[in-house]
Structure 1
Amino acid sequence: MFARLKSCGRHIALQRTLDVDGSRNYPKPAWQLQIWDWQNSTVLNSVLSDTIPSPYHDLIEFCFLGNDRLLVVTDSLKLYSIEDMSQTPQFLACFQLPIPLSDVHCHLPLDDIEHSSSQLQMQIQQTMYTSDPTHRLLCFTSSYPTTVYIISTRIFFNLDEIAAATPIPWNLWGPSNTRVFRSPFQCKVHISGNRVLQAFTMPDTHDEYKVHMMDFSPLAVSNRQGLGQVVKEPSMIKDTLFTLKTEKVEITSSLPYVKVILDSKFDVRDLHHIWLDKDRVYLLNANWDSPQSGRLDVIDI
């Protein structure tokens, strides 16, 4: 059995995977999500559960989108409202993925999705790389090989009343609201607001990282002011869908962003962690001569 605990604001959620009775006495993997409102009640309020589609038994993840929405990742993205914790979470929409994600992990920005109007006015007056508070990102990483999905959260809030009636195909929501990256080896990723920091291995040697800072804020794209490269053209990666037969899939994405590549290169053995905030990039490098210490590079942006 596997368990994962997450919290956001007044909510705590415990995810478990377990085996349930299946056909012909074979156990069938299932997931269960228990959700509490710890501020207003100590009693379990809500439970979500379902079976895990075969053969993707390692495919289950979830994340909070603010204080009133929950996103569950299985072979698709399922969105629920948790605004009223006296009831079972309300199913809002199902967003289909081009292929199921394997060994998936969710990365949310460090800052909150919700911002006040006063904060909005302050941030609009700041420079090009400042996040637009009306536009946030979430990131899913999938292994074998490493695939990074950057998704604009606006798609999870601009829903019509019939969204829950039928799954929304990838080609209707995905390309314009996502940017998908692929790396043959492990890459590092950190997300803050509208900015994504990624360390990719060099394509010729694979023993060094190049660090890319990407800003997906509409303000950054429209007010570039000569800094960085604006990327608006669609990108495409190829993948394989394994079902009853092997099928080649082309995944196109086109969410625009501004890209800045740091000049320095970093040894893959040394670069342990990367992260960023509003003003700086932080790169933690190992010191193999003194394992108890390391080097922290701080870069203003």
Structure 2
Amino acid sequence: MDVDLGAVRAFLAVADDRYFGEAADRLRMSQQAVSKRIAALERNLGVRLFTRTARGARLTVDGQAFLPHARDLIRLAERAVGSVQPGRRALRVDVLNRRIGPAGLLRDFHRAHPETDLDVVALVESDAAAAIAAVEAGTIDATFRAVTVPPDQMPPGIRAARVLDDPHQLLTGPAHPLAAARHVTIADLSGLRIWIPGIVPGTEWAAYYDALAATFGLTIERIGPNFGTDHLLDVLADSPTLASLVGQKTRLLWPQSYDLRRIPVLDPTPVYPHFLVWRTDNPHPGLATLRGYIASAPNRHPTTDAWVPAWAAEPATP
């Protein structure tokens, strides 16, 4: 059965005010229009909802039974509408995972703007093209990705700006030959076994590490299944030969007994370029607030001695 929500609102107004005239004033319509809506609702339900008396309209037994459900219907309708209204629903932002730099930037943004309801999701697990398609479709309001395509090849109405650089560090166990180094140069990494499992061909991070390896002659091993970050840390803690590369802004926790080392890489510093991708016609006020916060946030591009792949454009204002 289809229920007219306008008729339900009229029913609730009369139930609360008891007089059709007062209900009509509250709803800003004529008394006749209120009467017609309630009459239609009664026909639809097959019961009488009110008895008219000299003291106004009184709920019948069926009207009393319908009353709490009518209130629930209106509340649900208002929640449904509110869930898709910009400014009333949460700003939905996609990140590749919740450990990396953009997630930290969003945490800082939430602390600075707690009034902006924020929904941080790791919705799109595949490549940047799928994330951009999700932005285009409206599944998410924005995403942080490394965008490998030129701006003029983006879908119409989609903008991407490089907003956050994450300097890479060498991650080793205590037995590795470079474990005691205060820093290493990119040339020092040549000939090392750098292990980054789980690099998926065709993704933006595969494009980044392919370019890094080709530019500096590095050996990046991606063999073996990806059992997650904890497994990577387990292996590195015990290995005298394996090392990995991690972002400086990536949050990692491990047992104290692992004694892992995070060593800055210099001359130059390879940085992973995170882009913010959004629709230019998205009216959500939280998106404008986020873009303004990012534009003024410090340390988004922390090093001048940075290397990025050729496809990473110069930093842009989001």
Question: Into which bin does the TM-score normalised by the smaller protein fall?
Answer: under 0.3
TM-score of the aligned structures, taking structure 2 as reference length: 0.21
Structure of greater Rg = 2
Tell which has more relative contact order, 1 or 2 (C-alpha 8 A, sep 6+): 2
Bigger share in strand? 1
TM-score of the aligned structures, taking structure 1 as reference length: 0.21
